[in-house]
Amino acid sequence: MKSILVTGGAGYIGSHTVVSLIESGYQPVIVDTLENSLPSALQGIAEITNTTIPFYQVDVSDKNSLKEVFAKHPLEGVIHFAAWKAVGESVAEPLKYYHNNIQGLVVLLEVMREFGVQDIVFSSSCTVYGQPDSLPVGENAPLKQAESPYGFTKQVGEQILSDYHTANKESGIVLLRYFNPIGAHPSSAIGELPLGTPNNLVPFITQTAAGIRQQLTVFGSDYNTPDGTCIRDYIHVCDLADAHVKALEWLSNNPKKIDVFNVGTGRGNTVLEVISAFEKASGQKLNYSIGERRAGDVEQVFADNAKATSELKWKAKYSLEDCLLHAWQWQEKLKEA
């Protein structure tokens, strides 16, 4: 059973990936500061998998503490999620993002090299594409100037890993460029748990439907899209989690390589389509209004995922309505708690 370190493993995508790893026969080891997540995610993982996962409350930029974790476990790979991720906050606090997202990766790679751990799957983002010149966007599309320090840290992270591979030919690296993860585990034991006001559309939808938020504002209705609202590629978090397991398998079959894969459904949906699908899936009428455009929003982006389908042998299984139903069931469980 391969031991895999999951940094940020108590977070939204991290916790679902830990479940996928266990179900695929891996032994995850979690490090997380719990600054942007809650211990309840660890309880949810245990509930779904009926197993207790080794957990360390460690910051990846704390080299000595990280080395202690590596010394305790014979790790064979790393999945690196640990990073700050709010676009607006990154504009207000850029140094916080550069320290955690960039310095944290550098320290992690230094410790991996010291302990002879070669394989890493990196959590990147479709933000590296900006507004693509053509759609769907493939992995060879040019990377645009980042709209935020957060987006820039993902570009820098990819460059660091590319340079690291050039200097360390024994390493194996997969860069996964996520599109828009939504939904929750079908069991409702884990899901998206934004601390404070949500930055993402779907938790704002579910919190509005649950009465936590008074109203949802749709930012802009005059974009060049079928209904005037922005288009994104929404992918179920469990499908995204499975892509990380497939990436580890790819590294086993393609040692010492580095490659990049889009992880999206290959189709785009407008904001109004998401709202309509939520109302249909949940049976809830949503209180929303149309507002002004939001600075920094890309008009439309969705993935060309042919490469992940053919090389990783991965494909999204869940529909948009599945995603939104699971997100609503998760919200309902939180309300009962």
Task: Please identify every residue annotated as catalytic.
Answer: 150
* DSSP-derived secondary structure for 76-129: EEEEE--S---HHHHHH-HHHHIIIIIIHHHHHHHHHHHHT--EEEEEEEGGGG
Question: Taking a C-beta distance cutoff of 8 angstroms, is the pair 320, 327 a contact?
Answer: no
User: Which residues of the chain form beta strands (DSSP E)?
Assistant: 3-7, 27-31, 55-56, 75-80, 119-125, 172-178, 180-182, 216-219, 231-232, 234-236, 258-263, 269-270, 288-291
Q: How many Å apart are CA 258 and CA 121, to the nearest integer?
A: 10
Spell out the residues 6+ positions from residue 309 whose beta carbon is closer than 8 angstroms to its own.
Answer: 315
Question: Taking a C-beta distance cutoff of 8 angstroms, is the pair 230, 220 a contact?
Answer: yes
Question: Taking a C-beta distance cutoff of 8 angstroms, is the pair 118, 172 a contact?
Answer: yes
- Polymer length in residues for the chain: 337
Q: What is the CA radius of gyration of the chain?
A: 19
Question: Taking a C-beta distance cutoff of 8 angstroms, is the pair 305, 235 a contact?
Answer: no
Q: How many Å apart are CA 240 and CA 249, to the nearest integer?
A: 15
CA distances in angstroms from 306 to 208, 230, 316, listed in the order given: 35, 23, 12
CA distances in angstroms from 98 to 11, 102, 125, 126, 334, listed in the order given: 19, 5, 16, 19, 33
- Secondary structure class of 288 (helix, strand, coil): strand
